[in-house]
Amino acid sequence: MAHPETLLAHVGCTPDPATGAVVTPPVLSSTFERSADGTYPHGYLYSRLGNPTRDDLEAALTDLEGGAACATFASGMAAAAAVLQALQPGDHVILADDVYYGVRKLLADVFARWDLAVTSVDLTDLDALSDALRPATRLIWAETPSNPLLKITALRAVARQARAAGAYLLVDGTWTTPLLQRPLDLGADLVLHSITKYLSGHSDVLGGAVIARTENAFFERIRTGQTIGGSALDPFSAWLAMRGMRSLAARLRMQCATARRLAEMLEAHDGVARVYYPGLPSHPGHAVARRQMRDFGGMLSFEVDGTTDDAMAVAARVQVFRRATSLGGTESLIEHRASIEPPESATPPTLLRCSIGLEHADDLESDLRQALDA
Protein backbone atom coordinates (compact mmCIF):
# COMPACT_ATOMS: atom_id res chain seq x y z
CA MET A 1 0.00 0.00 0.00
CA ALA A 2 1.19 3.53 -0.75
CA HIS A 3 1.88 5.79 2.22
CA PRO A 4 -1.31 7.27 3.71
CA GLU A 5 -0.17 10.76 2.67
CA THR A 6 -0.21 9.60 -0.96
CA LEU A 7 -3.64 7.97 -0.63
CA LEU A 8 -4.97 11.15 0.96
CA ALA A 9 -3.55 13.45 -1.72
CA HIS A 10 -5.56 11.54 -4.34
CA VAL A 11 -8.84 10.96 -2.48
CA GLY A 12 -11.76 11.71 -4.80
CA CYS A 13 -9.46 12.37 -7.76
CA THR A 14 -10.05 9.58 -10.26
CA PRO A 15 -10.21 11.42 -13.63
CA ASP A 16 -13.77 11.50 -14.93
CA PRO A 17 -14.01 9.38 -18.13
CA ALA A 18 -16.71 11.66 -19.59
CA THR A 19 -14.72 14.92 -19.32
CA GLY A 20 -11.18 14.19 -18.11
CA ALA A 21 -11.83 16.32 -15.03
CA VAL A 22 -9.06 15.54 -12.54
CA VAL A 23 -11.32 16.02 -9.54
CA THR A 24 -14.16 13.48 -9.70
CA PRO A 25 -17.43 15.48 -9.84
CA PRO A 26 -19.98 14.70 -7.09
CA VAL A 27 -22.94 12.53 -8.09
CA LEU A 28 -25.83 14.39 -6.46
CA SER A 29 -28.65 12.43 -8.10
CA SER A 30 -30.98 10.81 -5.57
CA THR A 31 -32.03 8.09 -8.03
CA PHE A 32 -30.55 6.01 -10.88
CA GLU A 33 -32.07 4.75 -14.13
CA ARG A 34 -33.16 1.15 -14.46
CA SER A 35 -32.64 -0.66 -17.77
CA ALA A 36 -35.53 -2.02 -19.82
CA ASP A 37 -34.56 -5.50 -18.65
CA GLY A 38 -35.08 -4.42 -15.04
CA THR A 39 -31.39 -4.35 -14.02
CA TYR A 40 -29.36 -1.42 -12.68
CA PRO A 41 -26.40 -1.29 -15.10
CA HIS A 42 -24.17 0.84 -12.87
CA GLY A 43 -25.07 -0.96 -9.64
CA TYR A 44 -26.85 2.04 -8.12
CA LEU A 45 -30.58 2.22 -7.42
CA TYR A 46 -31.25 5.05 -4.95
CA SER A 47 -28.71 7.28 -3.14
CA ARG A 48 -29.77 6.43 0.40
CA LEU A 49 -28.88 2.81 -0.40
CA GLY A 50 -25.70 3.53 -2.33
CA ASN A 51 -24.06 6.48 -4.07
CA PRO A 52 -20.81 6.64 -6.09
CA THR A 53 -19.43 9.70 -4.27
CA ARG A 54 -20.19 8.22 -0.86
CA ASP A 55 -18.64 4.93 -2.04
CA ASP A 56 -15.39 6.75 -2.95
CA LEU A 57 -15.16 8.24 0.54
CA GLU A 58 -15.97 4.91 2.20
CA ALA A 59 -13.36 3.10 0.11
CA ALA A 60 -10.73 5.69 1.05
CA LEU A 61 -11.52 5.47 4.78
CA THR A 62 -11.45 1.66 4.62
CA ASP A 63 -7.95 1.78 3.07
CA LEU A 64 -6.65 4.43 5.42
CA GLU A 65 -7.75 2.49 8.52
CA GLY A 66 -6.70 -0.89 7.12
CA GLY A 67 -10.26 -2.22 7.55
CA ALA A 68 -12.67 -4.36 5.54
CA ALA A 69 -15.64 -2.00 5.20
CA CYS A 70 -16.90 1.47 6.04
CA ALA A 71 -20.29 3.14 6.38
CA THR A 72 -20.59 6.93 6.45
CA PHE A 73 -23.33 8.87 8.21
CA ALA A 74 -24.92 12.29 8.44
CA SER A 75 -22.85 13.08 11.57
CA GLY A 76 -20.52 11.44 14.06
CA MET A 77 -23.49 11.02 16.40
CA ALA A 78 -25.54 9.31 13.67
CA ALA A 79 -22.62 6.87 13.31
CA ALA A 80 -22.60 6.32 17.08
CA ALA A 81 -26.37 5.71 17.11
CA ALA A 82 -26.06 3.15 14.29
CA VAL A 83 -23.43 1.22 16.28
CA LEU A 84 -25.55 1.19 19.44
CA GLN A 85 -28.66 0.18 17.46
CA ALA A 86 -26.73 -2.85 16.21
CA LEU A 87 -26.61 -4.17 19.79
CA GLN A 88 -29.43 -6.24 21.34
CA PRO A 89 -31.62 -5.16 24.29
CA GLY A 90 -29.96 -6.49 27.46
CA ASP A 91 -26.42 -6.06 26.10
CA HIS A 92 -23.88 -4.31 28.30
CA VAL A 93 -21.61 -1.48 27.11
CA ILE A 94 -18.42 -0.32 28.82
CA LEU A 95 -17.91 3.33 28.13
CA ALA A 96 -14.62 5.11 28.82
CA ASP A 97 -15.22 7.68 31.54
CA ASP A 98 -13.91 10.63 29.50
CA VAL A 99 -15.50 10.17 26.07
CA TYR A 100 -17.20 12.89 24.05
CA TYR A 101 -20.20 13.75 26.26
CA GLY A 102 -22.71 13.38 23.38
CA VAL A 103 -22.10 9.61 23.41
CA ARG A 104 -22.76 9.45 27.15
CA LYS A 105 -25.95 11.46 26.62
CA LEU A 106 -27.08 9.24 23.74
CA LEU A 107 -26.68 6.12 25.88
CA ALA A 108 -28.42 7.70 28.89
CA ASP A 109 -31.28 9.50 27.11
CA VAL A 110 -32.05 7.07 24.27
CA PHE A 111 -30.48 3.67 24.70
CA ALA A 112 -31.24 3.19 28.41
CA ARG A 113 -34.89 2.93 27.25
CA TRP A 114 -33.82 0.17 24.87
CA ASP A 115 -32.45 -1.74 27.84
CA LEU A 116 -28.76 -1.28 27.06
CA ALA A 117 -26.79 -1.36 30.32
CA VAL A 118 -23.78 0.97 30.60
CA THR A 119 -20.82 1.10 32.96
CA SER A 120 -18.47 4.05 32.87
CA VAL A 121 -14.85 2.95 33.40
CA ASP A 122 -11.45 4.64 33.47
CA LEU A 123 -9.84 2.60 30.69
CA THR A 124 -6.36 3.68 31.76
CA ASP A 125 -6.95 1.28 34.68
CA LEU A 126 -6.92 -2.26 33.25
CA ASP A 127 -7.98 -3.81 36.58
CA ALA A 128 -11.04 -1.55 36.64
CA LEU A 129 -11.84 -2.77 33.12
CA SER A 130 -11.62 -6.45 34.05
CA ASP A 131 -13.80 -5.81 37.14
CA ALA A 132 -16.44 -4.14 34.96
CA LEU A 133 -16.67 -6.90 32.33
CA ARG A 134 -19.82 -9.05 32.51
CA PRO A 135 -21.03 -12.03 30.47
CA ALA A 136 -23.41 -9.61 28.70
CA THR A 137 -20.65 -7.12 27.77
CA ARG A 138 -20.75 -6.75 23.97
CA LEU A 139 -19.02 -3.44 23.38
CA ILE A 140 -16.15 -1.45 24.89
CA TRP A 141 -16.16 2.17 23.72
CA ALA A 142 -12.78 3.90 23.95
CA GLU A 143 -11.45 7.30 22.95
CA THR A 144 -7.70 8.02 23.14
CA PRO A 145 -6.63 10.77 23.65
CA SER A 146 -9.89 11.28 25.54
CA ASN A 147 -12.12 14.31 25.49
CA PRO A 148 -11.37 16.74 27.15
CA LEU A 149 -8.79 15.29 29.61
CA LEU A 150 -6.53 13.69 26.95
CA LYS A 151 -6.20 10.43 28.89
CA ILE A 152 -4.30 7.77 26.97
CA THR A 153 -5.71 4.24 26.80
CA ALA A 154 -3.36 1.34 26.01
CA LEU A 155 -5.34 -0.03 23.09
CA ARG A 156 -3.51 -3.36 22.66
CA ALA A 157 -4.15 -4.31 26.29
CA VAL A 158 -7.81 -3.27 26.16
CA ALA A 159 -8.27 -5.16 22.87
CA ARG A 160 -6.89 -8.34 24.48
CA GLN A 161 -9.40 -8.06 27.32
CA ALA A 162 -12.24 -7.33 24.89
CA ARG A 163 -11.42 -10.39 22.79
CA ALA A 164 -11.18 -12.67 25.84
CA ALA A 165 -14.59 -11.40 26.98
CA GLY A 166 -16.24 -11.80 23.56
CA ALA A 167 -16.86 -8.05 23.28
CA TYR A 168 -16.14 -5.69 20.39
CA LEU A 169 -13.70 -2.83 20.96
CA LEU A 170 -14.69 0.44 19.28
CA VAL A 171 -12.24 3.35 19.23
CA ASP A 172 -13.40 6.87 18.48
CA GLY A 173 -10.54 8.04 16.25
CA THR A 174 -11.88 11.54 15.60
CA TRP A 175 -9.00 13.32 17.34
CA THR A 176 -6.23 11.24 15.81
CA THR A 177 -7.41 10.38 12.29
CA PRO A 178 -5.81 7.30 10.68
CA LEU A 179 -2.62 9.34 10.20
CA LEU A 180 -1.77 9.49 13.91
CA GLN A 181 -3.22 6.18 15.14
CA ARG A 182 -4.68 3.09 13.48
CA PRO A 183 -6.83 1.33 16.09
CA LEU A 184 -7.52 -1.75 13.94
CA ASP A 185 -3.74 -2.45 13.82
CA LEU A 186 -3.76 -2.30 17.63
CA GLY A 187 -6.54 -4.90 17.94
CA ALA A 188 -9.76 -2.84 17.82
CA ASP A 189 -12.78 -4.13 15.88
CA LEU A 190 -14.38 -0.83 14.90
CA VAL A 191 -13.21 2.76 14.42
CA LEU A 192 -15.61 5.67 14.59
CA HIS A 193 -14.95 9.14 13.18
CA SER A 194 -16.70 12.43 13.33
CA ILE A 195 -15.80 13.47 9.75
CA THR A 196 -16.90 16.93 10.86
CA LYS A 197 -13.50 17.48 12.52
CA TYR A 198 -9.98 16.84 11.14
CA LEU A 199 -10.96 14.69 8.16
CA SER A 200 -13.06 17.37 6.46
CA GLY A 201 -10.92 19.95 8.24
CA HIS A 202 -12.63 23.24 7.38
CA SER A 203 -15.57 23.48 9.83
CA ASP A 204 -18.09 23.32 6.99
CA VAL A 205 -19.23 19.68 6.84
CA LEU A 206 -21.12 17.37 9.21
CA GLY A 207 -20.40 13.67 8.81
CA GLY A 208 -19.52 10.44 10.57
CA ALA A 209 -18.02 7.07 9.72
CA VAL A 210 -17.66 3.56 11.10
CA ILE A 211 -14.85 1.37 9.75
CA ALA A 212 -14.87 -2.35 10.59
CA ARG A 213 -12.05 -4.88 10.79
CA THR A 214 -14.40 -7.53 9.31
CA GLU A 215 -17.58 -7.27 7.34
CA ASN A 216 -19.52 -9.44 9.81
CA ALA A 217 -23.20 -9.58 10.86
CA PHE A 218 -22.64 -6.81 13.42
CA PHE A 219 -21.31 -4.49 10.73
CA GLU A 220 -24.22 -5.45 8.45
CA ARG A 221 -26.60 -4.20 11.17
CA ILE A 222 -24.63 -0.92 11.32
CA ARG A 223 -24.94 -0.68 7.52
CA THR A 224 -28.70 -1.27 7.82
CA GLY A 225 -28.89 1.65 10.24
CA GLN A 226 -27.27 3.78 7.54
CA THR A 227 -29.38 2.69 4.55
CA ILE A 228 -32.73 1.59 5.99
CA GLY A 229 -32.43 3.72 9.12
CA GLY A 230 -31.78 6.56 6.67
CA SER A 231 -28.84 8.30 8.35
CA ALA A 232 -26.51 8.04 5.33
CA LEU A 233 -24.06 10.86 4.53
CA ASP A 234 -25.28 13.01 1.63
CA PRO A 235 -23.09 12.99 -1.50
CA PHE A 236 -22.17 16.67 -1.45
CA SER A 237 -20.90 16.38 2.13
CA ALA A 238 -18.97 13.26 1.08
CA TRP A 239 -17.39 15.24 -1.77
CA LEU A 240 -16.50 18.15 0.55
CA ALA A 241 -15.04 15.70 3.07
CA MET A 242 -12.75 14.25 0.38
CA ARG A 243 -11.71 17.75 -0.69
CA GLY A 244 -10.67 18.40 2.91
CA MET A 245 -8.92 15.06 3.31
CA ARG A 246 -6.56 15.78 0.43
CA SER A 247 -4.71 18.28 2.66
CA LEU A 248 -5.06 16.35 5.95
CA ALA A 249 -1.42 15.29 6.22
CA ALA A 250 -0.06 18.81 5.75
CA ARG A 251 -2.62 20.30 8.13
CA LEU A 252 -2.03 17.77 10.88
CA ARG A 253 1.75 18.08 10.70
CA MET A 254 1.51 21.80 11.39
CA GLN A 255 -1.25 21.40 13.99
CA CYS A 256 0.75 18.80 15.95
CA ALA A 257 3.93 20.92 15.88
CA THR A 258 2.12 24.06 17.06
CA ALA A 259 0.14 22.19 19.75
CA ARG A 260 3.35 20.77 21.18
CA ARG A 261 5.00 24.17 21.28
CA LEU A 262 1.96 25.77 22.97
CA ALA A 263 1.71 22.91 25.48
CA GLU A 264 5.36 23.47 26.45
CA MET A 265 4.77 27.22 26.76
CA LEU A 266 1.65 26.69 28.91
CA GLU A 267 3.39 24.16 31.15
CA ALA A 268 6.04 26.77 31.97
CA HIS A 269 3.51 29.59 32.54
CA ASP A 270 2.73 30.74 36.11
CA GLY A 271 -0.93 31.35 35.34
CA VAL A 272 -1.50 27.70 34.35
CA ALA A 273 -2.13 25.01 36.95
CA ARG A 274 -2.00 21.96 34.66
CA VAL A 275 -1.57 21.10 30.99
CA TYR A 276 -3.11 18.03 29.37
CA TYR A 277 -1.14 17.08 26.25
CA PRO A 278 0.21 13.55 25.66
CA GLY A 279 3.29 14.91 23.88
CA LEU A 280 4.62 16.33 27.16
CA PRO A 281 6.99 13.93 28.95
CA SER A 282 5.16 14.86 32.19
CA HIS A 283 1.86 13.41 30.85
CA PRO A 284 1.07 10.09 32.59
CA GLY A 285 0.19 8.48 29.25
CA HIS A 286 3.23 9.80 27.36
CA ALA A 287 5.03 6.43 27.04
CA VAL A 288 1.90 4.62 25.79
CA ALA A 289 1.11 7.50 23.42
CA ARG A 290 4.64 7.28 21.97
CA ARG A 291 4.10 3.59 21.27
CA GLN A 292 0.69 3.77 19.65
CA MET A 293 0.56 7.23 18.05
CA ARG A 294 2.65 8.69 15.23
CA ASP A 295 2.35 12.17 16.72
CA PHE A 296 0.46 13.63 19.67
CA GLY A 297 -2.27 15.60 17.93
CA GLY A 298 -3.54 19.13 17.62
CA MET A 299 -5.75 19.16 20.74
CA LEU A 300 -4.73 20.25 24.22
CA SER A 301 -6.43 21.30 27.43
CA PHE A 302 -5.14 23.37 30.32
CA GLU A 303 -6.37 24.48 33.70
CA VAL A 304 -6.09 28.13 34.60
CA ASP A 305 -4.55 28.67 38.05
CA GLY A 306 -7.59 30.30 39.67
CA THR A 307 -11.37 30.07 39.67
CA THR A 308 -14.01 29.25 37.07
CA ASP A 309 -14.41 32.99 36.48
CA ASP A 310 -10.66 33.36 35.91
CA ALA A 311 -10.83 30.59 33.26
CA MET A 312 -13.83 32.27 31.60
CA ALA A 313 -11.92 35.58 31.65
CA VAL A 314 -8.92 34.03 29.88
CA ALA A 315 -11.25 32.66 27.18
CA ALA A 316 -12.91 36.09 26.93
CA ARG A 317 -9.57 37.85 26.26
CA VAL A 318 -8.28 35.82 23.31
CA GLN A 319 -8.11 37.67 19.99
CA VAL A 320 -6.78 35.07 17.54
CA PHE A 321 -8.43 31.93 18.94
CA ARG A 322 -12.20 31.78 18.34
CA ARG A 323 -14.48 30.94 21.26
CA ALA A 324 -16.45 28.04 19.84
CA THR A 325 -17.02 24.33 20.25
CA SER A 326 -15.77 21.69 17.78
CA LEU A 327 -12.24 21.02 16.57
CA GLY A 328 -10.02 20.08 13.67
CA GLY A 329 -10.56 23.16 11.49
CA THR A 330 -8.04 25.63 10.11
CA GLU A 331 -8.98 28.21 12.76
CA SER A 332 -7.88 27.71 16.38
CA LEU A 333 -10.74 27.31 18.86
CA ILE A 334 -10.86 27.66 22.64
CA GLU A 335 -13.68 26.39 24.80
CA HIS A 336 -14.70 26.42 28.45
CA ARG A 337 -15.81 22.82 28.37
CA ALA A 338 -17.53 22.37 31.76
CA SER A 339 -20.13 25.02 30.95
CA ILE A 340 -21.36 23.17 27.86
CA GLU A 341 -21.32 19.71 29.45
CA PRO A 342 -24.03 18.43 31.81
CA PRO A 343 -23.70 19.40 35.51
CA GLU A 344 -22.57 15.88 36.50
CA SER A 345 -19.56 16.16 34.13
CA ALA A 346 -16.15 15.54 35.72
CA THR A 347 -14.47 18.22 33.58
CA PRO A 348 -12.62 20.66 35.90
CA PRO A 349 -14.33 24.08 35.91
CA THR A 350 -11.01 25.83 35.30
CA LEU A 351 -10.28 23.79 32.15
CA LEU A 352 -10.03 25.35 28.71
CA ARG A 353 -9.83 23.06 25.68
CA CYS A 354 -8.00 24.20 22.55
CA SER A 355 -8.13 22.97 18.98
CA ILE A 356 -4.99 24.24 17.29
CA GLY A 357 -5.43 25.51 13.74
CA LEU A 358 -3.12 26.74 11.01
CA GLU A 359 -2.30 30.25 12.24
CA HIS A 360 1.37 31.09 12.81
CA ALA A 361 2.52 29.57 16.11
CA ASP A 362 3.96 32.94 17.24
CA ASP A 363 0.54 34.59 16.92
CA LEU A 364 -1.19 31.82 18.87
CA GLU A 365 1.48 31.88 21.56
CA SER A 366 1.30 35.64 22.07
CA ASP A 367 -2.51 35.47 22.06
CA LEU A 368 -2.53 32.94 24.91
CA ARG A 369 0.19 34.87 26.78
CA GLN A 370 -1.72 38.17 26.65
CA ALA A 371 -4.93 36.40 27.73
CA LEU A 372 -3.17 34.76 30.70
CA ASP A 373 -1.02 37.77 31.68
CA ALA A 374 -3.73 40.45 31.68
Ligand X SMILES: Cc1ncc(COP(=O)(O)O)c(C=O)c1O
Mode of pairing for the β-strands spanning 168-172 and 333-336: unpaired
Instruction: Return the range that interacts with ligand X (CB under 6 A); candidates 116-124, 152-160, 169-177, 339-347.
Output: 169-177
Q: How far is the CB of 18 from ligand X (least distance, A)?
A: 33
Q: Which of 47, 51, 72, 75 binds ligand X (CB under 6 A)?
A: 75
Q: Which of 72, 147, 177, 355 binds ligand X (CB under 6 A)?
A: 147
Instruction: Return the range that interacts with ligand X (CB under 6 A); candidates 25-33, 70-78, 132-140, 152-160.
Output: 70-78
Tell me, yes or no, if 48 is annotated catalytic: yes
Q: Which of 47, 161, 174, 292 binds ligand X (CB under 6 A)?
A: 174
Q: Which is nearer to ligand X, 102 or 271 (CB)?
A: 102
Tell me, yes or no, if 105 is annotated catalytic: no
Q: How far is the CB of 209 from ligand X (least distance, A)?
A: 10
Q: Which of 197, 213, 223, 337 is catalytic?
A: 197
Instruction: Return the range that interacts with ligand X (CB under 6 A); candidates 29-37, 74-82, 243-251, 350-358.
Output: 74-82
Residues 174 and 151 sit within 8 Å (Cβ to Cβ) = no
Q: Which of 67, 178, 187, 208 binds ligand X (CB under 6 A)?
A: 208
Applying CB under 6 A, the site for ligand X has a residue count of: 15
Q: Which of 47, 161, 194, 200 binds ligand X (CB under 6 A)?
A: 194
Residue 202 near ligand X by CB under 6 A: no
Q: Which of 63, 91, 97, 100 is catalytic?
A: 100
Residues 352 and 304 sit within 8 Å (Cβ to Cβ) = yes
Rounded distance between C-alpha atoms, residue 94 and residue 307, angstroms: 33
Residue 172 near ligand X by CB under 6 A: yes
Q: Which of 69, 77, 180, 265 binds ligand X (CB under 6 A)?
A: 77
Tell me, yes or no, if 305 is annotated catalytic: no
Residues 9 and 242 sit within 8 Å (Cβ to Cβ) = no
Rounded distance between C-alpha atoms, residue 285 and residue 245, angstroms: 28
Residue 97 near ligand X by CB under 6 A: no
Catalytic residue numbers, as ranges: 48, 100, 172, 197
